[in-house]
A and B are shown apart, each in its own frame.
Chain A
Amino acid sequence: MANILLTTQCNRSCPYCFAQREMSGSPRDNLLSWENLIYIADFLKASGERQVSLLGGEPTLHPECVDIILYLLERGFDVTVFTNGILSAARLEEFRRHLTDIPIERLTFTCNLNDPVQTPASHQEARKIQRFLFVMGPWTMPGFNIYRLDFTLDFLFDLINRFGMKRHLRLGVCHPVLGQRSGFIGPRDMGQVVERLYSYRRQFDALRVKPGLDCGFPLCQMPDEVLGWLHRFPGPVQFGCGPAVDISPDMSVYYCFPLARYKRKSLFEFDSLGQLEDHFQLLRHEIKAELPGIYDECDGCPHLENRVCEGGGLCHVLNRFMDEAPIRIPEIENELAQNRLSS
């Protein structure tokens, strides 16, 4: 699946945001043009893709967000929009008028929600989110980014029920961003995150909410009990690491947000998604040839060899390289040098 950034503007400031650096480096009016969107759509269609995600910044800030969603649906894509739910009244009205008759299976909003206590929003923002959920709840699944070990999920279950949201909670872990000093959950804390997540099992089960793990969770931090529980939900349980294939408004393409500055290319350099994926595979292969994963134990791990687990996030591996002497292969060192200079 490809992620299309409609804009780099955002109307929220989350403490854990790993897109900050990428967003701050872009011009204010960085909006995806129709020409580029059509190019991307053609590119993906020719490669047999059926799913796209729309991101940002905050994608709903794009003035033609509704038109873009409708266009992609018309092109035959299933669309997921990652949003913070903070929409203006006018924009929400557009959504209500034009999107509420789209079948739920074709359109999904992943609404990234912050803990009202740990990361409180302003009153105005909170109201906007509520209004958004009121209108678009059935199309929406909640998303939550884990950036501290004492996270809570209770408020999410409440919202799911109150607004008839999809019963799937997308859980992401904050990762290090290459060249950016920001907080993230380190490899040694992953076990604690899993433990805390599992402590909500009762709620997940009772309310039939599926915990959807985003990238970067390592298999070895999952006790068998947790693994068994996860496998009882529909859909596969994956311990992968991308590529996410993020396409920015200026048609840059990169492996994922934390690696936005690493081996960044232009989409125009590729003739197909397959070629692009080959490029990313090579990128991953180069890094994996240096370090297989985020733990020492990843080296020789049969689950990694069998690709059941990817050994955690590549961003963690590259982050280790940032602090060491330049001893890795030139392909890696040259890229890291650019980030060291500009970080």
Chain B
Amino acid sequence: MSWPRIVCPPNRSLLRSFTERTVAVRVAHPHQAAQAAARVWESGNHLFCVIIDSSFSLDKIELGEDLKHVPLAVMAPSWGKFRHLARRLERLRDFNLRIYLPGDVLENLAGLRILSSLGIHTCAVLGNGRMDWDALTDLMTYAVLELAPHASMEPFSFIASRHDPFSYLEWGALYFDDPKSFLHLDAKGRVALSAAELRNKQFIASSLKEIGEPAEFPAIRDRLQSWRQFFVDNHPCASCGGWKICLGRFAVALPENQGCAGFFLELMDVARQYQARKVQAEELRIWQP
């Protein structure tokens, strides 16, 4: 297991406390992003991306020219109104950018579709699973199977292209929530396994130095194996047809909300179709020298 990337605030001293790491810095405002990126580079680490955790709707977020070469993950609570975004679309397409919108708000599902159709990469934040699964299924089908050109929409595009019926698929890294790929640090350098745990001060170490070899670190190892508990407990998720993609991600939403099973089964079916189509397209390609 290679060393996970670090997600942390752009504090100079924190960044200088480690080196040669791949770092995603988290800021609250777009105007902080360029400086955050610069700090990462200055500290001798590699920049993975800048996460802009904005509380403003997307149509009110301005991205400066200085961010053109910075990989960005823009998280907004809503997308706002198209009329306000319309003028900025051309510029948005110039950025190395993915827009994250909460998937439990119906207007955002429309927004994700609109942005994707206009060539802007997006990601639906699925939260804890209490959402309109039918609407999400519709969006997912569009994202994966629609033949009209459009930008990728995660997590659907990722899952569809990588789904392997003979293994599990972990896609938490799209949300920086996969201990194999990301560890989260607070300003004091304390380590948590996810953004939510960081917020709740559920630390696994007081500094990165304590981690040593991540695969051997008990908290990380246990988290990576935690899915087995579903089988130990014979949890309903263990018998769900969508398990290989979901891995019990939305178990907390049960039993009130059971739409997740239908959604993931549908997603597996769509992934099959997508991959079959790709194979077919490959076969139809003209021979290559």
* B118 located at the interface, meaning its Cβ lies under 8 Å from any Cβ of chain A in the complex: yes
Minimum distance in angstroms from B123 CB to a CB of chain A? 18
Given known contacts A35-B138, A42-B146, A42-B148, A70 and B86 CB-to-CB distance under 8 angstroms: yes
Question: Which residue in chain B gives the minimum CB-CB distance to A272?
Answer: B147
Whether B82 and A67, one on each chain, are in contact in the complex, defined by CB atoms closer than 8 angstroms, is yes
Question: Which of B97-105, B109-117, B170-178, B198-206 binds A?
Answer: B109-117
Interface digits, A28-63 against B, CB 8 Å rule (1 contact, 0 not)? 000001110011011101100000000000000000
Minimum distance in angstroms from A31 CB to a CB of chain B? 12
Interface residues of B in 76-108 (CB under 8 A from A): 81-83, 86, 89
| Number of interface residues, chain A, beta carbon within 8 A | 19
Whether A38 and B83, one on each chain, are in contact in the complex, defined by CB atoms closer than 8 angstroms, is no
Task: Apart from A70-B86, A71-B114, A74-B86, list 5 A-B contacts with CB within 8 A.
Answer: A35-B110, A67-B82, A71-B82, A74-B118, A98-B83
**What are 8 pairs between A and B in contact, CB < 8 Å?**
A34-B113, A39-B142, A46-B148, A66-B83, A70-B86, A71-B82, A98-B83, A98-B86
Q: Decide if the interface of chain B is mainly helix, strand, loop or mixed.
A: helix
* A78 located at the interface, meaning its Cβ lies under 8 Å from any Cβ of chain B in the complex: no
Scoring A43, A64, A71 by chain B CB atoms within 10 A of each residue's CB, the highest score goes to: A71
Residues in chain A near residue B89, CB distance under 8 A: 74
Q: Decide if the interface of chain A is mainly helix, strand, loop or mixed.
A: helix
Question: Which residue in chain A gives the minimum CB-CB distance to B109?
Answer: A35
Residues in chain B near residue A75, CB distance under 8 A: 117-118
* A94 located at the interface, meaning its Cβ lies under 8 Å from any Cβ of chain B in the complex: yes
Residues in chain A near residue B150, CB distance under 8 A: 42
The 8 Å CB contact of A67, one of B81, B117, B142, B146, is B81
Minimum distance in angstroms from A202 CB to a CB of chain B? 43
Residues in chain A near residue B113, CB distance under 8 A: 34-35, 38
Residues in chain B near residue A38, CB distance under 8 A: 113-114, 117, 142
Question: Which residue in chain A gives the minimum CB-CB distance to B116?
Answer: A38
Interface residues of B in 108-164 (CB under 8 A from A): 110, 113-114, 117-118, 138, 142, 146-148, 150
Minimum distance in angstroms from A100 CB to a CB of chain B? 13
Whether B83 and A34, one on each chain, are in contact in the complex, defined by CB atoms closer than 8 angstroms, is no
Whether B83 and A67, one on each chain, are in contact in the complex, defined by CB atoms closer than 8 angstroms, is yes
